[in-house]
Amino acid sequence: MKKQFEILKKHKINKDRVAFNKVITVLWPNLRKYVDLRLKVYEAKGWLPKNFYQPEDVLTDVYLNAFKEFERIPNPEELKVRLYSWADQIIGDYAVKENKIPNTKKLPVAQLVQEELKSMDEKLSATADGEPILVTDLQDDDISYEQDEFKPKIYLFDYDSQNAFAQSLGLTADDFRDEKLRSFFGNIYSQLPETIRRILDLNALGGLTHNEIAEIVGIQPDEVEKVIIAVKDKLPASL
C-alpha cells in the first residue's frame, strides 16, 4: 500500500490525473460497489430520481477531490477514509439538490444512532404482510428493488455483495445459501434506518474497519460494533 501511495505522489507531482485515478481504482475497487448501492438506496427512498445519477458521476468528483487534496493526506489509510466520506457527501448533495431529503431535526450522530437502534428494536420485522420477502441471486452486478411506495422494497444482491454482507455479520457464504435466511436478511436490510444501513454498507461492501467507519460517520468504534451486532441479532439463530 505504501508503494502505491508513493506512486500516487508521483502522479500528483506530474499532474497526471488519469494515471492517479487508475491507481485509486485498483487500490479500492469496492468503492464503486459501495457507491452503486448507496445510489440505489437513495432511489428506493425516493430521494433521487431512478437511474439519473450514475456511480461514475460520484467517482469522478471523489477522485477529483482526492487529486486536489492529496498533499494534505498523510497516508493511504486516511485517503481511504476520505474517499468514502466524499462519496457519502456527494450523494447527499445530490439529494439536497433534488429537494428530496425530508426536513427533520438534526440530531448529533451518536444520539441519532441510539434513536435508530431503539426504533429498530421496536419496529423491525422479518416479514412483510405476513410473508418473508424473497431475495434471489442475480447473475449480474446490479441490485434490484421494488419501488412502488405501497409495496416493501426488495433488495436483490449479486453473489459478491451477498458474501460480503454474510462476512460482515459473522456468517458464511454457506449460511446465505439458505433461501429463507436470505429472505429474512433482504427484508431486514430494506427496513434498516439510514445511518445503521450506511454503517453496515461501509463495513460489508466498503471493507472498512470499525475505526474507519467511526471516523467517517462521527461516532465511536464501539458504537459501530454495537450496530453490526444489533443487525446480526435480528437474524434468526436457526431456520
Same domain assignment for residues 34 and 89:
yes
Mean of pLDDT values over 172-180: 77
Residue 60 scores a pLDDT above 60: yes
Q: How many domains does the chain have?
A: 2
Q: pTM for this one?
A: 0.82
Same domain assignment for residues 155 and 197:
yes
How confident is the model at residue 145, as a pLDDT? 47
Contacts from 72-77 at CB under 8 Å and sequence distance 24+?
75/5, 76/1, 76/2, 76/4, 76/5, 76/27, 77/212
Instruction: Evaluate whether residue 83 is within a structural domain.
Output: yes
Residue 152 sits in which domain range? 109-233
Same domain assignment for residues 19 and 41:
yes
Same domain assignment for residues 61 and 116:
no
Same domain assignment for residues 136 and 226:
yes
How confident is the model at residue 188, as a pLDDT? 81
* 101-154 pLDDT tens trace: 655 556 678 888 888 888 887 766 544 443 433 333 333 344 444 444 445 555
How confident is the model at residue 235, as a pLDDT? 78
Same domain assignment for residues 116 and 228:
yes
How confident is the model at residue 109, as a pLDDT? 84
Which DSSP category does 99 fall into? T
How confident is the model at residue 154, as a pLDDT? 53
Instruction: Evaluate whether residue 103 is within a structural domain.
Output: no
Mean of pLDDT values over 187-201: 88
Instruction: Evaluate whether residue 102 is within a structural domain.
Output: no
Instruction: Evaluate whether residue 238 is within a structural domain.
Output: no
Same domain assignment for residues 120 and 86:
no
Tell me, letter by letter, the H, E, C secondary structure of 113-141.
HHHHHHHHHHHCCCCECCECCCCCCECCC
- Specify the higher pLDDT residue, 74 or 99: 74
Same domain assignment for residues 208 and 119:
yes
